[in-house]
Amino acid sequence: MALICGSLALLSLLSSPARAYEDQATFGVAVGYAGMPRADTPPRHGVDVALSAGGGIGDAWSIQGMLGYGVLPDDRPLHISMAGLETVYALDIVRFVPLIGFGLDGLLTVRDRDVWGDFALHALVGVDFLINPRWLLGADVRGYWVATHAKSPLDAFILTAAARVGVRFDLR
């Protein structure tokens, strides 16, 4: 018994700490829904595409940048471009990885020839399925609170829901 306890103690001293996300970078492409479901005037629903790139900053935390473009079609379509930065917490459960996160975004909205700039805060809920150590499939929902929507055609709340494919790279 003493030999087993001594061996376990020695192994715990010699082993390195578990490293998950801090040594990885991720690149993803997403497509899905964008809309202002609470808006009173059309357009309220459309399509969103996004690119994301990020890296781990801890064993469960990562930071990523996002670029997105959404169009809400109508007689006078509304185009929304987004650039943002978010922190994401991943609860790594082998192949299924639930995600939660928060971020800050800049939005550029165009309708006809009028252009507006806005800032937003968002919350993220999602899940990744790890196909293998390199590739993943994911789905996420982001709710944006547009803090400066008063002068733009945006509603105070924007919603995106997307399916995503991503690739992970080891940094060391």
CATH of the domain at 36: 2.40.160.20
Nearest alpha-carbon partner for 89 in 76, 101, 71, 77: 101
Say if 36 falls within a structural domain.
yes
- CA-closest candidate to residue 52, choices 33, 69, 36, 34: 69
Residue 50 lies in a domain: yes
Dig out the tokens for 47 from the structure.
């399509």
75, HSE (Cβ side, Cα atoms, 13 Å): 2
The pLDDT value given to residue 170: 85
Residue 5 backbone dihedrals phi, psi, to 5 degrees: -65, -40
116 within a domain of the structure (yes/no): yes
State pLDDT tens for residues 68-88. Answer: 999 999 899 999 999 999 999
Tokens describing residue 28: 């993803």
pLDDT at 34: 96
Of 49-53, 88-92, 96-100, 148-152, which gets the smallest average pLDDT? Answer: 148-152
Report yes or no on 148 lying in a domain.
yes
Q: Count up the domains in the chain and report the number.
A: 1
**Does residue 147 fall inside a structural domain?**
yes
Tokens of 164: 């995503």
Residue 2 domain-assigned?
no
Model confidence at 99, pLDDT cuts 50, 70, 90, reads very high
What is the reported pTM?
0.84
Q: Determine, yes or no, domain membership for 6.
A: no
The strand pairing partners of 141, in sequence order, are: 125, 161
Domain range for residue 158? 20-170
Q: Is residue 142 part of a domain?
A: yes
Q: Which helix (H) or strand (E) holds 152?
A: none
Comparison of pLDDT for 153 and 124, the residue scoring more = 124
